[in-house]
Structure 1
Amino acid sequence: MAEKKKRVVVVGGGIAGSLLCKTFHKHHHVDFTLIDSKEYFEITWANLRSMVEPSFAKRTLINHHEYLPGASIITSDAIEIDEQHQVSTTSDRQIAFDYLVIATGHMGNHHVTISDRLRQFEADYEKIQSSNTILIVGGGPTGVELAGEIVVDFPAKKVKLVHRGSRLLEFISETAGKKVLDWLTARNVEVILGQSVDLDSSSDGVYSTSSGETITADCHFKCTSEPIGSSWIKETILKDCLDDHGRLMVDEHLRVKGFANIFAIGDVTDVPELKQGYLAQKHALVVANNLKLLIEGGDEGKMVKYSPATSAMAIVSLGRREALAYIRCVTMIGRIPGLIKSKDLFVGKTRKQLGLKA
């Protein structure tokens, strides 16, 4: 009699969830199902390049079936986890599990199909191309990288960047923020710090700031952080496992506290570290090892422990050739860090991790 396979359900096909699924693809002891709100995996750290070069997106949007051929994939939103070990979806499906992994990250775009997402990049490109003055709201890595992409590809455009913090890139050093500020202002980007923008009250290209000033622009892009993708969990058996910030509380093995067969990975967890893509991938690999151990009947005491990143590390691209690197408290800006990231934005490397051509 054939051994019954363990049912693994992964909710969320982003950076962490996709890599986890890839590690289990064709595992002979596992019957896994991916539940995702969209039909594709998006290499999110490359999507700003796609806004100035829409054709670039064709390598960054990957249908789940492309790297998981033959897998069970449900394109729907998860809405419930019950005591019968089932996940329910908005498409009225109930999927039973022996092990569950939640990888819903942050709320992202709402485009279900690749074609819809490509059309959005085309629309963003047309908006940039047809505007003389562009407002960017948010001075974190997303806002800084978008400003860099625009001023390199469209040097005649006037870019205005507004950030409510006292400096850019607040998640890393003051020196790094100052170097990026100097880089942007040298390219005629107007940077306004210590203010926010009321986007809802804009009228005819006039925006009001928190200090009562007005900014005129032909279009705007909001580059502030999106909410954590955990609102649906508040209606499930895991509702008491969410902290005050809406993140799932996990133990050192990345299991949701109080549940031996439910794990969480990526931005949706309360792991005390910066929420970055390469760290989410590390979560995925730790949980993959732990699930394989449990599924194959190994000693639970030998489960891998995840060690949170203790120091910030980042490479922020500045257009196609330059970047800012912050590694082990050392800051470098220019062509050398640009060689690491800015040309391809790690797209080839990420595709290779999924077993695809770079």
Structure 2
Amino acid sequence: MFSRFKRNTKGSSIHLNELIADIPDFSLDEVLKDPMLLTAFEDYLTQTWSQENLLFIEAMNQLRHESGTPEDIEKIFTRIYDTFVLLDAPLELNVNTQERVKEQLKSLRWSVISRDDALDLLKETEQEVLSMLVLYTIIIHTIIAVIDLFFFKKICSSNKSKINTGPISILQKRVVIIGGGFTGFAVGSALDPMPLFHVTLIDTKDSFEYTPQIVSKVVNAEKISSLRFTHGSYIVNGKVIIGYVEDICEDAKCVKVNDEKIYFDYLVIGTGSSYSCQLKSSDSSSLYRTAGLNQISTEIENAKHILIVGAGLVGCELAVAIGKKQQDALYPVKKQIVLIEARDKIIYRTDEKQRKRAEEYLTSLGVEILVNERITSCNTQDHNVYYGSSGNKYSEQDFLVLMATGVKLNTSFILTSTNEPPLDACVDVNGSIRVRPTLQIEHWKYNNIFAGGDVTNVIEEKTAYAATLAGVCIARNICRMEKGKDPIAQGTKGLLAPPTKALHGVESLGGLGKKRLSFFERKLSFLNPTWQVLKYFNEKQFFKIVQETSKKSNILGKFPKTLELPDQTQSLRPEDASSSVTSSRIDLSREGASGIPNDKHLLSECLSKRTCNFE
């Protein structure tokens, strides 16, 4: 098939270097930063049964940037060790350092493992894995060149309009969004299609994750829903970067990520919150995230005793999901489910009537509820032991412990910002960002910086629904400012006010549980505060609601009208020109959330053509 590539018209051999010269060079560092290349690389490694190497490096990057407590860092380390390094681990690495790590770990068994300890323990392992991955990128580079040079060039040509080179006009306004959660998705969905804006989305993940379905996915790993859709499915004209924002600097004109400065006219902070467990995660890739959720699901499946710490809505939902599945006799092992809460009541913010119904429903499912039970943990030689204030003892040797508490706001990068004037005054003692009713940050100078969702001090139920409403408000206000109008507060002029009541499930079950909705109910569900409505949809339905339905019916608030460029001048901004080449990417794995493929996995298709004659 490829014999015509072997010799040129003069009969001399075509050297491999000559073939490679026309192929974009994919270094490992560049692959890890770009979601499209990362997805393609993961696909290739999956085909060669070596994806665990990439997942390990992503996990190590997550460990380096974890800003939580020492306990949070230790949990991430433990997950890495149990997943990749331990003998017979689910994604065991083929490395020579397993025994050394195990022996070094014994010397730290009586102390909390710090970040430096963890990185030092895994340093040699990481170096060995990195060497293997660098080799894989070279192999990929070679395979592309030798297998299908013409095919790959055709891809480059057909995707020429999709190569991301940054702002094409000096008149475009640059919008940088930090965080690809519900607020970031709503802002990006509204502004990216507009010619006036160039949107850059920065996230630690390669995809948007539909968190309202996490509990259901954890308990039912067999669910078809992936929970995720790629950021590239809604940031079509802009740019997506995988990385951790390290700084806001230069008089709040740019952010620093992956040692690169990204300049902006408007900044949107939607970094959200995280749990000490995996109910929320900053896992870079969908592959690693899925592996983690499947592992939890397997542990739940096999556990005889389950301890859920935290009886808020999330903890109660988790208890209900496990209890309901057990009631339906879908588990091979009968379980004891214990739900504990440090306060004197479950679902603390709901009313007494709803709370009583919730307790009755949980009890009917066989869930044991303990309130006023504050938990402390203690490391032993082989496992953790949790002690309750009542004197109860819960050992990880006997109980599967699921943490549904310990919410942490992801705002540390603001506190460590080097910007002058400082931005830390915008963060309160709880770590929340102080914002005005317009969702602009409370700063005397910077009216062009917005924040929405879990990270703000807005009095609201911190839900996916509330974060989506905030995104619509921010997008609308950015457009108003560009039109010379004053920004408006949430709840005014077509914007929906932040929800101040808990959005529940089935009212007769105390706001827990789910029921099938009719077509009419689904259409109006966002308007009814008695439903925890987003839990009735999957990620593809939610994508359609925001991208299409909401813009027609305003069920999420009035979306802004499209803003065009005042002039089609094709000139680059000076600060963007230098990075326009290095930031160029070929869209190799884009698929709309509606399921309609657009050149899906073209690189992977190229790599999967395994028949090749090397000369």
- Which category of TM-score, normalised to the shorter sequence, fits these structures? 0.7 to 0.9
Q: Deviation at 1:165?
A: 1.2
Whichever residue aligns with residue 365 of structure 2, its letter is R
- Cα distance in 2, alignment partners of residues 224 and 325 from structure 1: 25
Is residue 13–residue 40 contact of structure 1 (8 Å, CA) maintained in 2?
yes
Deviation at 1:9, TM superposition (A): 0.4
Secondary structure, aligned partner of 1:274: coil
Give, in whole Å, the separation in 1 of the partners of 2:384 and 2:433.
40
The counterpart of 1:146, out of the listed 318, 321, 327, is 318
Give the direction of change, closer, same or farther, for the CA distance of 1:151–1:175 in structure 2 (3 Å limit): same
In the TM superposition, what is the alpha-carbon distance from 1:177 to its structure 2 partner?
1.6
- The aligned residue for residue 196 of structure 2 is 29
Aligned partners of 1:333, 1:123: CA distance in 2, in Å?
25
Q: Could you tell me how far 1:35 is from its partner in structure 2?
A: 0.7
Residue 11 in structure 1 maps to residue 190 in structure 2 = no
Cα distance in 2 between the residues matched to 1:230 and 1:248: 8
Which residue in 2 is equivalent to 1:175?
A: 353
Give the helix-richer structure, 1 or 2.
2
Which residue number in structure 2 is paired with residue 319 of structure 1? none
Change (3 A) 1:140 1:94: same
Greater Rg by CA: 2
- 1:186 matched residue in structure 2: 364
* Distance change (3 Å), C-alpha of 1:341 and 1:265: closer
Q: 1:234 aligns with which of 402, 412, 415?
A: 415
User: Are 2:241 and 1:69 equivalent residues in the alignment?
Assistant: no
Q: Which residue of 1 aligns with 2:208?
A: 41
Q: Which amino acid aligns with 1:221?
A: L
* Residues paired across the two proteins, number: 344
Check 1:71–1:268 CA distance in 2 against 1; reply closer, same or farther (3 A cut): same
For 2:453 and 2:241, locate their aligned partners in 1 and report how far apart those are by CA, in whole Å.
20
1:345 aligns with 2:526: no
Residue in structure 1 matched with residue 405 of structure 2 by the alignment: 224
**Does 1:263 find its partner at 2:430?**
no
Q: Structure 2 CA distance, aligned partners of 1:332 and 1:58? A: 24
Moved more, 276-285 or 136-145: 276-285
Q: Which digits, 9 at most, give the CA deviation of each residue in 1:82-132, with x for residues without a partner? A: 11511011x111100011011111134131100000001110111011111
Aligned to 1:209: 388
Report SS of the residue matched to 1:313.
coil
Give TM-score, length-normalised by structure 1: 0.88
Structure 1 segment 158-169 matched on structure 2, within 5 A: 158-169=336-347
Q: Which moved more, 1:21-30 or 1:204-213?
A: 204-213
Distance 2:169 2:384 in 1: 66
1:171–1:344: structure 2 CA closer, same or farther, 3 Å change rule?
Answer: closer
1:254 maps to which residue?
Answer: 439
> Could you list the per-position Cα deviations for residues 240-260 of structure 1 after superposition, in whole angstroms to 9, with x for gaps in the alignment?
111121111111211111221
Q: 2-side partners of 1:149 and 1:38: how far apart?
A: 27
**How large is the Cα RMSD of the aligned pairs?**
2.6
- 2:378–2:385 contact (8 Å) kept in structure 1: no
Q: Decide which of 300, 304, 311 is 2:488's aligned counterpart.
A: 304
Q: Is the 8 A contact 2:309 2:404 kept in 1?
A: yes
Cα 1:333–1:207 shift into 2, 3 Å: closer
Q: Give 1:66 deviation, angstroms.
A: 2.5
Deviation of 1:30 after TM superposition, in Å, equals 0.3
Instruction: Name the SS for the 2:503 alignment partner.
Output: strand
Separation of aligned partners in 1, 2:452 and 2:511: 31
- Letter in structure 2 aligned against 1:49: S
Quote the sequence identity (%): 25
Take 2:451 and 2:303, find their aligned partners in 1: how far apart are those partners? Answer: 42
Mapped contact 2:339–2:370 kept (Cα < 8 A): yes
Bigger fraction of residues in strand? 1
| TM-score normalised by structure 2 residue count | 0.52
Is 1:277 aligned to residue 469 of structure 2? no
CA contact 1:14–1:41 (8 Å) conserved in 2: yes
- How far residue 313 of structure 1 moved from its aligned partner, in angstroms, is 3.1
Offset at residue 71 of structure 1 (A): 2.9
1:111 aligned residue: 283
What amino acid is aligned across from residue 163 of structure 1 in structure 2?
E
Structure 1: distance between partners of 2:514 and 2:256: 49
Cα 1:254/1:194, change in 2 over 3 Å = same
- Which sections of structure 1, spanning at least 5 residues, go unmatched? 317-322
Q: Which residue of 2 aligns with 1:122?
A: 294
Match of 1:290 among 477, 482, 496: 477
Tell me the distance in 2 between the aligned counterparts of 1:142 and 1:294: 38
